[in-house]
Each structure stands twice: as C-alpha cells, then as structure tokens.
C-alpha cells in the first residue's frame, strides 16, 4: 500500500494546502463520500461530473471521516 503526505500530494498535483497538517498521511482515495471510513487516512477527491458535482459532498466526506479533501474550485 502506498502512502503519501498531504504535502506530497499537493506538490504532485500542483495544489495548495489551505488548512490542516501537511504531514498527515493518506493511504486511501475516494470519489464517493458514502464509501469513506473514519480513521483510514482517506483523501476525498471532489470531482465535477456531468450530473453530480463532488464539491457538493465535501461536508459529508469530512463528517464520514475523510482526512483530507482535494478540490478543483474554492
């Protein structure tokens, strides 16, 4: 299993860390807020699709236990 820190993910994607611990480890990635399990170091990626915009589910992902969120819009 590969793990990366939030800092490494930000560097790889050209992103900016808006808040939180940049050294936090992420070992799982999900685009579905319903599939996030607390305590597993999950990165929720908010994708904008044709019918659904993942940005609408950021709060649900965080409530479900996502450790971090990757967004494409503020």
Region of 21 (left: φ > 0; alpha: ψ -120 to 50; beta: rest) is: beta
Domain ranges (residues) in the chain? 4-70
Query: Which pair of structure tokens corresponds to residue 62?
Result: 């965080």
pLDDT confidence of residue 16: 84
Q: Are 46 and 70 in contact (CB under 8 A)?
A: yes
pLDDT confidence of residue 32: 95
pLDDT confidence of residue 1: 63
pLDDT confidence of residue 51: 94
Superfamily for domain range 4-70 = MurE/MurF, N-terminal domain (3.40.1390.10)
pLDDT under 70: residue ranges of the chain: 1
User: Residues of the chain with pLDDT > 90: what percent?
Assistant: 51
Pairing outcome for strands 28-30 and 25-26: unpaired
Q: Are 12 and 6 in contact (CB under 8 A)?
A: no
Taking the C-alpha atoms of residue 70 and residue 4, their distance in angstroms, rounded to an integer, is 13
């Amino acid at each position: 299993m590969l793990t990366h820190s939030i800092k490494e993910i930000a560097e790889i994607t050209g992103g900016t860390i808006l808040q939180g611990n940049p050294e936090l480890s992420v070992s799982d990635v999900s685009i579905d807020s319903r599939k996030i399990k607390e305590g597993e170091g999950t990165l929720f990626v908010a994708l904008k699709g044709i019918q659904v915009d993942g940005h609408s589910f950021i709060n649900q992902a965080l409530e479900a236990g996502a450790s971090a969120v990757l967004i494409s819009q503020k």
